[in-house]
A and B are shown apart, each in its own frame.
Chain A
Amino acid sequence: RKEVEQDPGPFNVPEGATVAFNCTYSNSASQSFFWYRQDCRKEPKLLMSVYSSGNEDGRFTAQLNRASQYISLLIRDSKLSDSATYLCVVKKSNYQLIWGAGTKLIIKP
């Protein structure tokens, strides 16, 4: 079993819809969590850090459920430009990130 697991998708979603991804992690001692976005053949870019209380940034909302060891990302009013792969990332140590395989999102007009 991978340390960080995500549904690879793809999620095909009409423009304007709301879409949610979940990610589960196996190490209960993990303290830091992130969502990164990666466009095809480009570097991963930080989308959001995920805080214990949950956090929101515009159309994006991230939640952390420590009891069930999962992280979620909600995208509201999806745009064509949201099409990308969304990577769930968990910090394993001070220096090492563990990555999920990514969830591919395709927004259709």
Chain B
Amino acid sequence: AAGVIQSPRHLIKEKRETATLKCYPIPRHDTVYWYQQGPGQDPQFLISFYEKMQSDKGSIPDRFSAQQFSDYHSELNMSSLELGDSALYFCASSTWTSGSIQETQYFGPGTRLLVL
């Protein structure tokens, strides 16, 4: 079965540079979530989109922005990168399935960002 696709898988940037992470949800999934996971930490929710509109906002820094496009893929734009932004960035997707009790998020493999 098709899974969530993220690109790039690895990214190295320098401080103050910008980065764009891409996420392609599972086909027919209409909701996309972004998470940041630092070393040894649990995933921290950044932001989510439903039907191309921002649906919820977590601990996303003002330097970051994101959007969901008409084909449901999403991009996380990160500017003025800081050393502390080095982390694994996961994208997850979901959709309500008729008859299901609760919605499940499926995660992509992540983009590992290293800021030097």
Mutual binders A and B: yes
A→B interface (CB under 8 Å): 31-32, 34, 41-46, 49, 51, 87, 91, 93-102
Q: How many contacting A-B pairs (Cβ < 8 A)?
A: 52
Most buried by A among B33, B48, B50, B102: B102
Which of B13-21, B71-79, B105-113 is the contact stretch? Answer: B105-113
Check B56–A102 contact: CB distance below 8 A: no
Q: How many of chain B's residues touch chain A, expressed as a range?
A: 20 to 34
Chain A interface main SS type = loop
- 11 example contacts (A-B, Cβ-Cβ < 8 A) are as follows A34-B102, A42-B109, A43-B90, A43-B107, A51-B101, A94-B55, A94-B56, A95-B50, A96-B56, A97-B105, A101-B42
Q: Hey, what's the 0/1 contact readout for B90-106 against A, CB within 8 Å counting as 1? A: 10000000000111111
